A and B are shown apart, each in its own frame.
Chain A
Amino acid sequence: MFRTALRNVLAHRGRLLMTTLAVLLGTGFMTGTMIFSDSIHQAANNSRSKDFTGISVQVADDTAGLPSSARQNSTKSSARLTEATVRRIAALPGVAGTRAEVSGTAAIADKNGNMIGDIMRSTGANFVPDAAGNDARYPMLQGRGPHTATEVALDRGTVEKAGYRLGDTVRIAANGPAISVTLTGVFSSDAPAVRSGNPLALLDTQGARRVLSLAPDQYSSIDVTAAPGTSETALLHAVTPLVPGGNQFRVETGAQLAAQQAERLAQSGRSLATMLTTAAGISLFIGIFLIANTFTMLVAQRTRQLALLRAIGAGRSQVTRSVLIEALLVGLSGSAAGLLLGIGIGAALAAGVKSLDADLPRAGVVITPTTVLITLLVGTLVTVLSAALPALRACRIPPVAALSSGEQPATHRSLFLRNVLGSLTTAGGLGLVVLGSTERGATARLPLMAGALLAVLGIVQLLPLLSRPVIALARPPLARLCGTPGSLAALNAIRNPRRTASTAAALTIGLTLVTAMTVIGASVSDAIDRAVTQEMTADYVVTTLTGTLDPSIATSVAHAPGVVASSPVTDVEWSIAGERTEAKGLDADSADQLVRPNMSQGAATALKRGQILVDSSFASRHGLAVGSTVTVAAPHGTGIRLTVGGVFAPSRMLAPVLLPGGVVAAHQPYAPAQQILVKGANGATPAFKQALKDATGRSPVVEVENKQNLRDGFDRTITFALNLLYALLVMSLLVAALGVVNTLAMAVFERRRELGLLRAIGLDRGGVKRMVRLESVLISVFGAAIGMAFGVFLAWAAGTTMTVTLPELRTVLPYPKLLLMLLAAVLVGLAAAQWPARRAARLDVLDSITAD
């Protein structure tokens, strides 16, 4: 029987090719997405991870180096980890070694004063040399480690990015002003963060303290290694009493640290993971779809063949077995090849995404056993199921009936059940989406996502029903534009709604997702754009990458040449009118030159009179209008009475309440500014920007950004997500194209007689080709259009839930991009029709007429 199956596989090369290709592409697509997803995830985790091997117990001072104000806020005592602490711990029995660290976030400037890499993952630390002058953690590749407070060693990646050579001057900064140090060495590191491309600067211990603003005898952490035979917990108990400051410092075992890190990574990577899992899920769905679809297409041909086998005397169980073995062969070999293809796709995707955004962590190709297992299992199982089920059903038909059926008619099995189920699912899904859209913020997410998924499933079910009216709508214009071929193409496209639907479905699913994300992205960009361009009249915003600004920076900016107006912006959280709310303090005299809130009542100049401005939603919550008085409670003062001088439209750039700078200074004097708004005499010019950079000591952590930079900063995350999705779109287009080729090839084969008739009564080859191509385009555009329409709806629903965090948000349709997607669908249709159209045009007229 195995031989019969094998012979059967080999005897029908065309079918074999089609099905294997379907399995190959289906699984490849799926595997590629999974591998890509795992790789990105791994890379993201690596870049955020620390290596805790060799650390049995760690004592850490998380506040070391923070500005005094923040320190006061978070701690009562001012104990420090010092050399004395280290010595006491080292003297404990069971301690094999200690390593006292000075480390923290620090920015390293390139030759132009711009920061290298991402501030959140850029680190400065102390070099801890042994007697020979080496630090085992950081083997030197070139030069030597830092010996004095003015020397530095950098990791190889950073040196390469910046193009530094030994002996060059490097500027490094954390919270304070930048300091200049000399590059004495280049090292390599096994630390995952460094390996994934994050900068690390090693200074001598004093130098590190200077950059990170630590006291001259202070450490930020002490790593303790246990001697053999001493457990981490035992050591923890021994170390804890020696640590000063009560429970001011963290004292944890290596195991605890690793566990916490895993937890933290899982938390921080959650949204990325959700996105990638969704992508993988969708690819799985589309992959299964393609395979099942291809087999459904071929079942007609198949049925007759099996009947023939039965007619010439093969037993039912024999036929069944041969079918199963055949499917197994195709499924296994197809998914094995798909696995290889998927590895290629995954690697290409990772490389592609990386090339779009150089600051992304470097990604290796991660192939997990789960991926391999799922690929082989899904590929084989889906193949066997979708090949075997219809074939087995066919076996139950008496052979003679199957053989004599002649022309295979379009199955007119009732769509009733499918339509009812589809309608219910769609209605339920849409209901959930609408319900979700009435919620605000995070609570909306679950109903929205579940609803979207449900509705997509429902819509796919309803595609056959939708195909008739939608495509019928296209017939008159198509007939006018393309004549008879156009008209016939439209009729052909709805001849077998089931088939048209399953062909279009891959596009529908792909485009729903991509359209939704594109529209959301465009809407968010638009909202930010409007906020930035309309509500901000400042030319530059000065910020530090660490978040808070030293008051000295505000003063130097104010005195920089060319500054017309400048104001520090201080974020505070006060209780205003009984509600604990975010408020921004602005310099009362210059605020009206730097921000332009969209005022509905009063004027922004009210700040000059010591009055406050509130946004309309805050005003309506508390029944406030111009002239109302509110009671304010601040850290230094309660029962402060302030007058409302104006009401403005809620804005992402501003806070619900704007306060005169003087009021903030009076009631929370230590509050640091987060940014400084600056207006120049000649607007935003490179020279003015340089003047501001110079005034702030050309520190790599001080950023001087214009409006465009601000917009780009917001856009970056959106763009990244969209790029991921576009990669997905490209693949779903590929898969869809294969489906279309399938459908059309079948159609041309089945309709060869009428093609012959058309040729006989005067339709030329070009006309036949046009007809097939147009049908193909119709099917793909139909699928795409339904997906896009639903995607826009989803984007609207998601958009309304986001107005909490982005009040300016309104749904914006990026027509050029949407048009481009539609165009892509047209191209897929055209490309997929290429071969079937050629075949149709080449059909011999007489053969076709006389065929039976």
Chain B
Amino acid sequence: MVMDAMTTTTYAAAARARGLHKVYGEGETRVLALDDVSVEFPRGEFAAIMGPSGSGKSTLMHCMAGLDSVTSGSATIGDVELVGMKDKQLTRLRRDRIGFIFQAFNLMPTLTAMENITLPGDIAGRKPDRDWLARVVDAVGLADRLKHRPGQLSGGQQQRVACARALAGKPEIIFADEPTGNLDSHAGAEVLALLGSCVRDFGQSVVMVTHDPVAAAHADRVVFLADGRIVDELRTPTADSVLDRMRRLDRVG
């Protein structure tokens, strides 16, 4: 069904934000985390969100993924408006149409790798698509570790399991918040390659938050955030060009 939507409404973005505002706190402690952000993530794109610490990257991702409420503005996944949704609807939306990869603690420690991969589908009570699952498992290269529990896997392997989980449900879009933040460069590269192949081999849409220019260089497009505003954008980035933009941002900031 998701695939159908992809092919029929080719022009609808996977995720889109319009005039997004997010305010934390009140009075003296009031923080404007997102300030009129409008951004679009088309289907089949690997996008990166970059910016200095505290610039609102995580907040943007959380708001667009239905993990956090917005103060004003609009956020859509496919053609579904998130703003105004009830908790139950948001939960279903996250379960059925969004894949998540967090920086750490992505997996249920009590479940095996395989059980973790199928968890969202199991929660939904869906029958797993065996062929698809086999392809996904093959792509993350953990066929021999499926019976292991997270505690028995390395950090990189754990993140790859998280990628597989995000992929398994054929979501509209995958959100990854600093997925390589806790990994060494080698494991990080593996995970980034995997995210890239999600887009290129599986036709997924991926949005990745990072502050690492090398990571961002894997993306098709980089969106730059500073003080809760989108300040720049870069297509077909390289590590150098990203680093260059970041330096400029810092100087401006």
Seen from chain A, the residues whose Cβ lies within 8 Å of a Cβ on chain B are: 483-484, 487-488, 491-492, 495, 753-754, 757-765, 767, 845-846, 849
Q: Can you give 17 A-B contacts (C-beta < 8 A)?
A: A484-B122, A488-B110, A491-B111, A492-B110, A753-B105, A754-B108, A757-B106, A759-B91, A760-B102, A761-B94, A761-B120, A762-B92, A762-B94, A762-B124, A765-B88, A849-B67, A849-B102
B residues 80-134 near A (Cβ < 8 Å) are: 87-88, 91-92, 94-96, 100, 102, 105-111, 119-120, 122-125
Q: Nearest Cβ in chain B — how far from A224, in angstroms?
A: 83
A760 to B108, CA, bound (A): 12
| Given contacts A483-B122, A483-B123, A757 and B108 within 8 Å (CB-CB) | yes
Q: Nearest Cβ in chain A — how far from B163, in angstroms?
A: 13
A483 to B119, CA, bound (A): 11
B57 contacts the other chain (Cβ, under 8 Å)?
A: no
Q: Which residues of A contact B102 (CB under 8 A)?
A: 757, 760, 849
Q: Nearest Cβ in chain B — how far from A841, in angstroms?
A: 10
B residues 162-198 near A (Cβ < 8 Å) are: 165
Q: Which residues of B contact A761 (CB under 8 A)?
A: 94-95, 100, 119-120, 123, 165
- On whether the beta carbons of A488 and B94 are closer than 8 Å, the reply is no
| Given contacts A761-B100, A761-B165, A762-B96, A484 and B123 within 8 Å (CB-CB) | yes
- On whether the beta carbons of A760 and B94 are closer than 8 Å, the reply is yes
Q: Nearest Cβ in chain A — how far from B179, in angstroms?
A: 13
| Given contacts A483-B122, A757-B102, A764 and B92 within 8 Å (CB-CB) | yes
Q: Which residues of B contact A495 (CB under 8 A)?
A: 110
Residue of A nearest to B65 (CB): A760
B245 contacts the other chain (Cβ, under 8 Å)?
A: no
B62 contacts the other chain (Cβ, under 8 Å)?
A: yes
- On whether the beta carbons of B92 and A488 are closer than 8 Å, the reply is no
Residue of A nearest to B108 (CB): A754
Q: Which residues of B contact A760 (CB under 8 A)?
A: 67, 94, 100, 102
| Given contacts A483-B123, A846-B68, A758 and B108 within 8 Å (CB-CB) | yes
- Cβ 8 A contact of B88, one of A483, A492, A764: A764
A757 to B109, CA, bound (A): 11
- Cβ 8 A contact of B125, one of A483, A491, A845: A483
- On whether the beta carbons of B106 and A762 are closer than 8 Å, the reply is no
Q: Nearest Cβ in chain A — how far from B164, in angstroms?
A: 13
Q: Which residues of B contact A487 (CB under 8 A)?
A: 122
Q: Which residues of A contact B109 (CB under 8 A)?
A: 754
Q: Nearest Cβ in chain A — how far from B106, in angstroms?
A: 7
- On whether the beta carbons of A764 and B87 are closer than 8 Å, the reply is yes
- On whether the beta carbons of B87 and A765 are closer than 8 Å, the reply is yes
Q: Nearest Cβ in chain A — how far from B129, in angstroms?
A: 17
A147 to B100, CA, bound (A): 100
Q: Nearest Cβ in chain B — how far from A485, in angstroms?
A: 8
| Given contacts A761-B95, A762-B96, A763-B91, A484 and B119 within 8 Å (CB-CB) | yes
A845 to B100, CA, bound (A): 13
Residue of A nearest to B165 (CB): A761
- On whether the beta carbons of A488 and B108 are closer than 8 Å, the reply is yes
A302 to B95, CA, bound (A): 38
Q: Nearest Cβ in chain B — how far from A850, in angstroms?
A: 8
Q: Which residues of A contact B106 (CB under 8 A)?
A: 757
Q: Which residues of B contact A753 (CB under 8 A)?
A: 105
Q: Nearest Cβ in chain A — how far from B171, in angstroms?
A: 10
Would you list the 4 A-B pairs with minimal beta carbon distance, nearest first?
A: A762-B95, A491-B110, A764-B91, A484-B123
Q: Nearest Cβ in chain B — how far from A361, in angstroms?
A: 56
Q: Which residues of A contact B96 (CB under 8 A)?
A: 762
Q: Nearest Cβ in chain A — how far from B218, in angstroms?
A: 24
- Cβ 8 A contact of A767, one of B68, B105, B108, B123: B123
Further pairs besides A491-B110, A753-B105, A761-B123: 8, Cβ < 8 Å: A484-B122, A487-B122, A761-B95, A762-B123, A763-B91, A764-B87, A845-B67, A849-B67
A492 to B109, CA, bound (A): 10
A845 to B94, CA, bound (A): 12
Residue of A nearest to B125 (CB): A483
Q: Nearest Cβ in chain A — how far from B67, in angstroms?
A: 6
Q: Which residues of A contact B87 (CB under 8 A)?
A: 764-765
B residues 139-182 near A (Cβ < 8 Å) are: 165
Q: Which residues of B contact A767 (CB under 8 A)?
A: 123
Q: Nearest Cβ in chain A — how far from B161, in angstroms?
A: 13
- Cβ 8 A contact of B105, one of A492, A757, A759: A757
Q: Which residues of A contact B107 (CB under 8 A)?
A: 757
Q: Nearest Cβ in chain A — how far from B170, in angstroms?
A: 14
A432 to B87, CA, bound (A): 59
A834 to B48, CA, bound (A): 43
A760 to B87, CA, bound (A): 11
A849 to B94, CA, bound (A): 15
- On whether the beta carbons of B123 and A763 are closer than 8 Å, the reply is yes
Q: Nearest Cβ in chain A — how far from B51, in angstroms?
A: 17
Residue of B nearest to A492 (CB): B110
Q: Which residues of B contact A483 (CB under 8 A)?
A: 122-123, 125
Q: Which residues of B contact A491 (CB under 8 A)?
A: 110-111
Q: Which residues of A contact B165 (CB under 8 A)?
A: 761
Q: Nearest Cβ in chain A — how far from B174, in angstroms?
A: 12
Q: Nearest Cβ in chain B — how far from A413, in angstroms?
A: 17
A758 to B109, CA, bound (A): 12
Q: Nearest Cβ in chain A — how far from B68, in angstroms?
A: 6
A845 to B62, CA, bound (A): 10
Q: Which residues of A contact B91 (CB under 8 A)?
A: 759, 762-765
A517 to B123, CA, bound (A): 44
- On whether the beta carbons of B100 and A846 are closer than 8 Å, the reply is no
Instruction: Count chain A CB atoms within 10 A of each CB in B92, B94, B123 and give the residue with the most.
Output: B123
Q: Which residues of B contact A757 (CB under 8 A)?
A: 102, 105-108
Residues 221-234 of B, flagged 1 when their CB comes within 8 A of A and 0 if not, give: 00000000000000
A763 to B100, CA, bound (A): 13
Q: Nearest Cβ in chain A — how far from B220, in angstroms?
A: 25
A753 to B92, CA, bound (A): 20
A765 to B92, CA, bound (A): 11
Q: Which residues of B contact A484 (CB under 8 A)?
A: 119, 122-123
A758 to B62, CA, bound (A): 15
A373 to B70, CA, bound (A): 62
A765 to B124, CA, bound (A): 14
A488 to B119, CA, bound (A): 10
- On whether the beta carbons of A849 and B105 are closer than 8 Å, the reply is yes
Q: Which residues of A contact B108 (CB under 8 A)?
A: 488, 754, 757-758
A762 to B125, CA, bound (A): 12
Residue of B nearest to A753 (CB): B105
